[in-house]
Structure 1
């Protein structure tokens, strides 16, 4: 197996992000709030706005995309920005690349990007009952917080909650409010 590389996409690479995002929505529809049908109809301006709003990371193997993640501004109290905290979201790995370390590389690249932005913590929301996701995040160093919200992705159990897990990026080991 050849090496996996992770890089940030620029605004002008919106079409590449769109392609990977739509692939993720089609392959794992239960993992996202949006649907491929909804996003397929988005115009170029909306995709470019997304590229400006958050940093998009792509994992590639032999030049082909095998994963994607985004780093954006964390929010607290519903709408208020928490300037110290970045949020990891939209993490997806192609089925053929799962279990090869791609997700870890994307998370590490996200943590590095957040650190370069001067952030003290990286937040990642996971299903409270999703043992695999909680174990992955915990193994990476994320710690669960008291912050909960209703699951944004609706499935069989609409009563499920998401828990905010936080990764300290520097010396501040405390948990910021989310």
Structure 2
């Protein structure tokens, strides 16, 4: 069992530990190497943790009910360089909490949909081209490629020939309060 909640400033040590796990497991998804992640100062972590309570951002974490361990996290913000629509960011679920049976990813995503649905009509995201499981998850949940592609940049290392790019995907929010995959 797990509980969802938004992050708070005092969560910064757990957030740091979680993002270090993310950078170790898949630096491309975090877009920073472990070394770069270690360089983020305390005030940077505190700012990231406060996103859970800001009007133009959210940061939702799933915590294990028995241990308090962070199992997953999704964030969203209003707009980016490509538009004012809500944008899903900061997605990471620990390997042992992934999959439909665990329910962590779907629960986090449902929370983001509720937040974004009151702030726009479209939810956008950027996903690594080679992240096939993530792309399949998003497609099952109504996301389609927009045609925008950007270079994948990982802080702390030179681009690699096999990095691929970042693909933008979007889905309508009108009336959407639960993941499409849950209804199938």
Q: Using structure 2 for the length normalisation, give the TM-score.
A: 0.76
Q: Where does residue 81 of structure 2 map in the other structure? A: 76
Q: Where does residue 127 of structure 2 map in the other structure? A: 126
Structure 1: stretches of 5+ with no match in the other structure: 173-178
Q: Where does residue 54 of structure 2 map in the other structure? A: none
Runs of 4+ displaced beyond 4 Å:
153-156
- Matched residues in 1 for 2:167 and 2:49: separation? 26
Q: Where does residue 143 of structure 1 map in the other structure? A: 144
- Matched residues in 2 for 1:76 and 1:69: separation? 20
Q: Does 1:107 align with 2:112?
A: no
The structure-2 alpha-carbon separation of the partners of 1:152 and 1:41, relative to structure 1 and needing over 3 Å to count, comes to: closer
- Matched residues in 2 for 1:76 and 1:16: separation? 29
The structure-2 alpha-carbon separation of the partners of 1:97 and 1:156, relative to structure 1 and needing over 3 Å to count, comes to: farther
- Matched residues in 1 for 2:23 and 2:129: separation? 22
Native 8 Å contact 1:91 1:103 kept in 2: no
Question: What CA RMSD, in Å, does the superposition of the two structures yield over aligned residues?
Answer: 2.3
- Number of equivalent positions: 163
Q: Using structure 1 for the length normalisation, give the TM-score.
A: 0.78
Deviations 1:42-67 (A, max 9, x none): 22211222234542211112222111
Q: Does 1:161 align with 2:162?
A: no
- Matched residues in 2 for 1:113 and 1:120: separation? 11
**Counterpart pick for 2:64 among 61, 69, 93:** 61
Deviations 1:78-107 (A, max 9, x none): xxxx33x11112211111111122222222
**Counterpart pick for 1:49 among 47, 50, 57:** 47
